[in-house]
A and B are shown apart, each in its own frame.
Chain A
Amino acid sequence: MTTGDQGSSLSDVSAGLTRAVPIILGYVPIGLTYGVLAQKAGLSGLNVVLMSLLVYAGSSQLVAAGLFGSGASAPSIVLTTFVVNLRHMLLSAAVAPYLKRWGRGELAAFAYELTDETFALHAASFPSGVPPKGEVFAINAAGQASWLLGTGLGVALGEVIRDVEPLGLDYVLPAMFIALSVMQMEDMKGFAVALFSGTLSVALLLLGAGQWNVILATVIGASTGVLLELWTNNRSS
């Protein structure tokens, strides 16, 4: 134990909370939407909150709410969640080299609350020196706390909001997909893969692939991206 790691003082925590404000502002309203929609999909209030506590991955929770509502099977819900959240592996691998000195328990706690948004903050600060643990964990905890707060508000409001359509809440998820796609799009190859996977997914759905169209289209689409990458590398070398 090095002395530099000790004393996660109050100022470290408040520095983390300050940096987390933009995340909090995004998570509360989207968590609220998840809470409303998941309850409408037939989950008990307790299960709605437990999912935010145990899974804690925003877009996949909204997707799962939709799947529960449409009567999808448990294996297809779990597998879809796996595919939707697989990107975290890349985020985790990207920050891992900076956290060599952390213990396994600390890494386990850190990884539990690693999301696209907390990753964006960490990835921006880690290269110039990992901040004190108090600050890092304050960011992560603020993220999940605001997600849980939103979820709880959504469960409470679910009783009041009888119909989500006049509020346009059924458009939160498609709009999130659009926003996240744009953030992920790095180059023309990414654009091509997006177009291909999306079209394939629609085709599979129309052909009767049921709930499996997303997984199939994702695996085939990402693999096509690898081939595209190999092909362009060979051409340029």
Chain B
Amino acid sequence: MDQQQIFLTILGMAAVTYLPRLLPTWLLSSRSLPRWLVTWLRFVPVAVLSAMLFPALLTDGGQLHIARDNLFLLAALPTLAVAWKTRTLFGPVATGVLLVALARRFLPL
């Protein structure tokens, strides 16, 4: 893609991001979303996050990669522990990034 195509893609991203943010505030001040939709939307975050997370941890170049030298998978455990404990964004991210950086520097993987 050239920069102009990238910009047009960004405009598309902006539209599909803004509408779900905007429409409920305009349309739902007195009503609420249908119950089935609320239930479905409640499951979307966990579904989409793990649909992106699992391949990032378990695959490499389109192949399954579950081995001792899979740094991303190893670092996931302490990252998960800090996330569970602190329930913050920054704590687990800093932990994971630091561990991966240190492991690459000091471990013979």
Min Cβ gap B93→A in Å is 4
Q: Which residues of chain A are near B40, meaning CB under 8 Å?
A: 222-223, 225-226
Within the assembled complex, what's the spacing in Å between the Cα atoms of A29 and B23?
Answer: 31
Range, interface on chain A: 35 or more
Within the assembled complex, what's the spacing in Å between the Cα atoms of A8 and B26?
Answer: 23
Within the assembled complex, what's the spacing in Å between the Cα atoms of A134 and B29?
Answer: 21
Are the C-beta atoms of B9 and A107 separated by less than 8 Å?
A: no
Are the C-beta atoms of B89 and A107 separated by less than 8 Å?
A: no
Q: Which residues of chain A are near B101, meaning CB under 8 Å?
A: 166-168
Min Cβ gap B86→A in Å is 9
Q: Which residues of chain B are near A199, meaning CB under 8 Å?
A: 54
Are the C-beta atoms of B90 and A99 separated by less than 8 Å?
A: no
Q: How many A-B residue pairs have CB under 8 A?
A: 291
Are the C-beta atoms of B43 and A190 separated by less than 8 Å?
A: yes
Chain A interface SS verdict (over half): helix
Q: Which residues of chain B are near A205, meaning CB under 8 Å?
A: 55, 59, 62
Q: Which of A68, A179, A180 contacts B6 (CB 8 A)?
A: A68
Known A-B contacts A92-B23, A92-B24, A96-B24; the reply to A174 vs B39 at CB < 8 A is no
Interface string of B74-96 (1 = CB under 8 A from A): 01100110011001111111011
Beta-carbon nearest neighbor of A43 in chain B: B6
Within the assembled complex, what's the spacing in Å between the Cα atoms of A225 and B58?
Answer: 23
A121 close to B (CB within 8 Å) = no
Are the C-beta atoms of A202 and B13 separated by less than 8 Å?
A: no
Interface string of A189-215 (1 = CB under 8 A from B): 111011101111110011000000110
Min Cβ gap A88→B in Å is 5
Residues of A within 8 A of B (CB): 25-26, 29-30, 42-44, 46-47, 50-51, 54-57, 60, 63-64, 68, 74, 77-79, 81-93, 95-97, 99-100, 104, 107-108, 110-112, 114, 117, 165-186, 189-191, 193-195, 197-202, 205-206, 213-214, 217-218, 221-226, 229
Other 15 A-B pairs with CB < 8 A, given A171-B72, A193-B47: A26-B88, A30-B90, A60-B17, A85-B20, A90-B33, A90-B42, A93-B28, A96-B29, A167-B101, A168-B97, A183-B83, A202-B64, A214-B52, A221-B43, A225-B43
